[in-house]
């Protein structure tokens, strides 16, 4: 029993993960107290003025009065969807400082001109700039200001970012910048390593447990990780060419929507509380479809057009998931009770924080550079634990189902034993009352003949009793095991059964057989014959019918039987007996894994319908 052990493993993973994340936060806050103190005193938020002209301008046009930069100094600025470049007029900065942007953008160009010269020194950075053209080889946009430049050096910054973002500027002491870089790299390595371990764990469990929902969780985490690697600049610096950086972001956004929607659907789909209605799942399917379409569109159109739609899909997906899960929770879906905790506790608030951090300049303190990574780590952990809880829930449901099945089998065995005992009692009664009586009479005639010669009348009486006894023995033998089925074959035996009903009772029978002989084991065929025999007997004894329609159809996967009569129906007081006959039909249907119903017909009478599954090669297996 390995499955229960996963619960213990999950608890250990939880404690270990919390320790790792706490350690990461401690390192962010100040694993190196001296460096942290220097960083806090040697980094400044830069105040600057901005302009966003309608037309493209050169640096000479910007510096010569085309842009007034008349607005008040600000500490953050935004770039709009599809908007033009944002020009920034920088204040006097300390020579040798490091100027960095707080967010990753497509392109940033720093223009510097010393007093008395006409030449501009241009430095570049950004997600679309080749690595060889970057001012500093770090996973963010940063520029090292010349130590020889006087404070009155003119500086302008040109920022290009078509999608919505809000950025700020910081001026660092070089040593503080390096200390911050090392601390970020250490924490990022720890958090990404933890996330990678969670991904591997989900993939391994998916293979071992053969449950695709774990793989969907792993792929969703990887998609979110791609987004994080893009936003932090790590992906473009170390993992992929900068020319495909925006395509990778679109891929991460689309993957998060598509695989996240599939994960939610699969998580809720199999549950002891029932299946999820199709209509709510259509919303998730629609979001996944839109995301896939936008991903393809991004290959042939400017990337920021589908990227905006993908961002909207990423925002709507968790909201939709929460609504669907709450609806399922009300409906009694057991899986929804597990899923709602990570959705409301981690995913939704984490997504809101990351969104606020991306499009605003609201500070989040020491966790600001690692907000997405920490959120992603918690999401990966909590959703993995939710999946472990889902396994335990299904184990518990399976145990309950097995117990119920065992009880049902026990009740069925007891009921079948009672049926067998009743059948034995019936056969014993037949032997005693009919055959035994006839044999006693024959014996009496023969004994009387020992005292005197038998008369012709006595001989006729003995012969008549003997013939009646033989006929009765044949009837009982046929009831116990019908030789007709083995002698005549399936179709002829069924036809013979209903011909007997027609001849003996005067009931007009309309029999239809299609599909040929079913691929059933001999015992299964005997069970089906017995059920037909019992239904025909009930019509003869209780229905008071004049007409009967029987349809037996074999479609290769199941045997479908429908028998209808125009008799008194089920509401008549004479009714059908609720004893041995119907109980034997019910037991035989269950034995064959089939189902059956008995109801009143729409125009009177009764209708019996049976469906018996046919397993391929069942007859050959026996």
What is the SS3 assignment for 27?
A: helix
Q: Mean pLDDT score of the chain, rounded to an integer?
A: 79
CA dist., res. 300 & res. 9, Å (int): 47
pTM: 0.63
Task: Name the band, by pLDDT with cuts 50, 70 and 90, for residue 569.
Answer: confident
pLDDT of 617 strictly over 60: no
- pLDDT, position 98: 93
pLDDT of 286 strictly over 50: yes
- pLDDT, position 108: 92
User: For residue range 224-275, what is the model confidence (pLDDT) as tens digits?
Assistant: 999 888 888 888 888 888 888 888 988 999 999 999 988 988 888 754 444 5
| CA distance readout (Å), 243 to 102, 131, 419, 529 | 22, 10, 79, 74
What is the SS3 assignment for 171?
A: strand
* Location of structure tokens 């299946």: 275
Q: Which residues contact 97 (CB under 8 A, 6 or more apart)?
A: 145, 171, 172, 173, 174
Burial class, 595, CB count within 10 angstroms (exposed 0-12 / middle 13-18 / buried 19+): middle
Task: Name the band, by pLDDT with cuts 50, 70 and 90, for residue 578.
Answer: low
- DSSP-H helix ranges across 244-370: 245-269, 278-300, 304-331, 334-342, 348-359
CA count, 13 A, side-chain hemisphere, 30? 9
Per-residue pLDDT, averaged over 34-63, amounts to: 74
Per-residue pLDDT, averaged over 162-182, amounts to: 89
What is the SS3 assignment for 167?
A: strand
* Location of structure tokens 């001989």: 459
Tell which residue, 167, 114, 111, 120, has the closest CA to residue 140: 167
- pLDDT, position 143: 94
CATH 2.60.40.2380 fits 44-172, yes or no: yes
Measure the CA angle with vertex 156, ends 150 and 161; round to 5°: 145
156 contacts 87 by C-beta, under 8 angstroms = yes
130 contacts 242 by C-beta, under 8 angstroms = yes
* Location of structure tokens 């409906």: 331
Looking at 3.30.70.260, 3.40.50.1000, 3.40.228.10, 3.30.565.10, the CATH number of the domain 481-622 comes to 3.30.565.10
Domain ranges of the chain: 16-32+180-382, 44-172, 481-622
540 contacts 505 by C-beta, under 8 angstroms = yes
CA dist., res. 512 & res. 496, Å (int): 13
């Amino acid at each position: 029993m390995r499955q229960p052990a996963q619960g213990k493993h999950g608890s250990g993973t939880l404690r270990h993960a919390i320790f790792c994340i706490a350690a990461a936060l401690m390192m962010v806050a100040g694993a190196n107290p001296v460096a942290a103190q220097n960083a806090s005193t040697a980094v400044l938020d830069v105040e600057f003025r901005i302009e966003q002209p309608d037309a493209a301008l050169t640096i000479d046009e910007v510096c010569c009065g085309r842009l007034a930069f008349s607005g008040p100094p600000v500490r953050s600025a935004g770039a709009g969807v599809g908007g033009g470049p944002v020009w920034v007029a920088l204040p006097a900065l300390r020579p040798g400082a490091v100027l960095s942007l707080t967010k990753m953008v497509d392109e940033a160009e720093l223009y510097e001109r010393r007093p008395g010269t006409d030449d501009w020194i241009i430095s570049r950075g950004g997600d679309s700039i080749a690595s060889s053209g970057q001012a500093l080889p770090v996973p963010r946009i940063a520029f090292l200001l010349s130590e020889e430049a006087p404070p009155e050096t003119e500086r302008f910054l040109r920022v290009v970012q078509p999608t919505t973002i809000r950025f700020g500027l910081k001026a660092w002491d070089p040593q503080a910048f390096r200390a911050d870089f090392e601390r970020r790299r250490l924490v990022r390595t720890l958090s990404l390593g933890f996330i990678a371990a969670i991904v591997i764990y989900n993939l391994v469990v998916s293979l071992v447990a053969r449950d695709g929902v774990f793989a969907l969780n792993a792929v969703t985490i990887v998609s979110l990780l791609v987004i994080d690697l893009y936003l932090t600049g790590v992906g473009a610096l170390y993992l992929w060419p900068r020319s495909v950086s925006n395509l990778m972001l679109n891929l991460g956004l689309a993957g998060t929507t598509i695989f996240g929607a599939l994960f939610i659907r699969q998580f809720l789909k199999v549950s002891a509380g029932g299946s999820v209605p199709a209509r709510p799942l259509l919303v998730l399917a629609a979001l996944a479809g839109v995301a896939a379409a936008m991903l393809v569109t991004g290959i042939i159109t400017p990337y920021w057009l589908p990227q905006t739609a993908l961002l909207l899909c990423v925002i709507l997906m968790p909201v939709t998931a929460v609504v669907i899960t709450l609806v399922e929770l009300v409906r009694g879906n057991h899986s929804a009770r597990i899923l709602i905790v990570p959705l409301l506790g981690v995913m939704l608030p984490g997504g809101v924080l990351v969104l606020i951090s991306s499009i605003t300049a609201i500070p989040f303190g020491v966790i600001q550079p690692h907000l997405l990574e920490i959120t992603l780590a918690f999401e990966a952990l909590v959703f993995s634990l939710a999946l472990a809880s889902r396994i335990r829930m299904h184990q518990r449901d399976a145990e309950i189902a097995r117990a119920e099945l065992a009880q049902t089998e026990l009740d069925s065995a007891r009921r079948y034993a009672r049926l067998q005992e009743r059948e034995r009692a019936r056969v014993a009664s037949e032997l005693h009352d009919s055959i035994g009586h006839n044999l006693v009479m024959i014996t009496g005639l023969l004994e009387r003949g020992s005292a005197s010669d038998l008369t012709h009348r006595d001989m006729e009486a003995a012969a008549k009793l003997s013939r009646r006894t033989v006929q009765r023995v044949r009837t009982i033998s046929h009831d116990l095991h019908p030789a007709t089925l083995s002698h005549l074959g399936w179709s002829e035996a069924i036809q013979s059964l209903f011909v007997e009903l027609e001849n003996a009772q005067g009931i007009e029978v309309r029999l239809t057989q299609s599909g040929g002989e079913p691929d059933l084991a001999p015992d299964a065929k005997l069970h089906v014959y017995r059920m037909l025999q019992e239904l025909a007997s009930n019509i003869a004894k209780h229905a008071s019918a004049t007409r009967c329609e029987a349809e037996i159809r074999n479609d290769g996967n199941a045997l479908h039987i429908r028998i209808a009569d125009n008799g008194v129906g089920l509401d008549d007081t004479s009714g059908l007996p609720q004893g041995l006959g119907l109980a034997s039909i019910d037991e035989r249907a269950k034995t064959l894994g089939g189902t059956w119903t008995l109801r009143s017909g729409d125009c009177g009478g009764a209708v019996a319908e049976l469906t018996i599954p046919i397993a391929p090669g069942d007859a050959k297996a026996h």
